[in-house]
Amino acid sequence: MMTFKGGKKKKSRLLFVCLGNICRSPAAEGIMATVVEKNGLQDVIEVDSAGTSGWHEGELPDERMRLHGERRGYVFDSPARKFRKSDFDDFDYILAMDRQNFTNIKAMATGQEQMDKIYMITEFTQQYPYYDHIPDPYYGGASGFELVLNLLEDACEGLLQTIKEVELRQYSHL
């Protein structure tokens, strides 16, 4: 578990964002929740997901994504919701799956502090640095879902490493 000098802990809140919140972002949420739990950090890292559109609000993730995730031991069960302006206040990291969603989120930001929270999830990949976005598997076949899971597993591990480094630096003066 991540504890800091003086016993102070800061909860890092992560929001994964794609278009409909039924494939990529709920998969990222489920993968990251698993990574966080395996590292015993569920008390200091919280995860959620959203979509820039409200097309699927309230729906469970795509059945195909859930099936591919289950095969790897993940549970993708958070209902879809639309990204909202208040998410800028509620989250420390807002992680877009692709350039269009990144642009859409940035357009909603009202200042530099909010802009500084927005990242492309692929900024955190370690094994797949040549991918600049997480492709949408919705209209493709099984190989597309598997690629998305590979990319997200890599990015989530890299993101956790980054958060650990940032948080440890932030609290090293205590």
Q: How does pLDDT run across 48-77, given as a tens digit for each residue?
A: 999 999 899 999 999 999 999 999 999 999
Helix spans in the chain (H) = 24-38, 63-71, 87-90, 99-108, 112-115, 142-171
Other C-beta atoms closer than 10 Å to the C-beta of 140 total 13
Contact 155, 125 (CB under 8 A): yes
pLDDT above 90: residue 135: yes
Give catalytic residues, as residue numbers. Answer: 18, 24, 136
- Fold classification of 10-171 is Rossmann fold (3.40.50)
User: What pLDDT does 170 receive?
Assistant: 65
Residue with more model confidence, 102 or 140: 102
Span of 13-17, 91-95, 140-144 with lowest mean pLDDT: 140-144
Question: Residue 121: which of 94, 95, 92, 149 has the closest Cα?
Answer: 95
Average pLDDT of the chain is 92
Which one, of 151, 167, 173, 170, lies nearest residue 44 by Cα?
A: 167
Residue 119: strand pairing partners: 95
Write down the pTM of the prediction. 0.91
How far apart (Å, rounded) are the C-alpha atoms in residues 105 and 96? Answer: 8
- Look at residue 173 and tell me whether its pLDDT is greater than 90: no
Q: Look at residue 148 in the predicted model and tell me its pLDDT.
A: 98
Question: Domain segments of the chain: what residues?
Answer: 10-171
Please say whether the beta carbons of 148 and 16 come within 8 A: no
Range from 47-51, 125-129, 152-156 carrying the lowest mean pLDDT: 125-129
Q: Which residue is it, tokens 């739990």?
A: 37
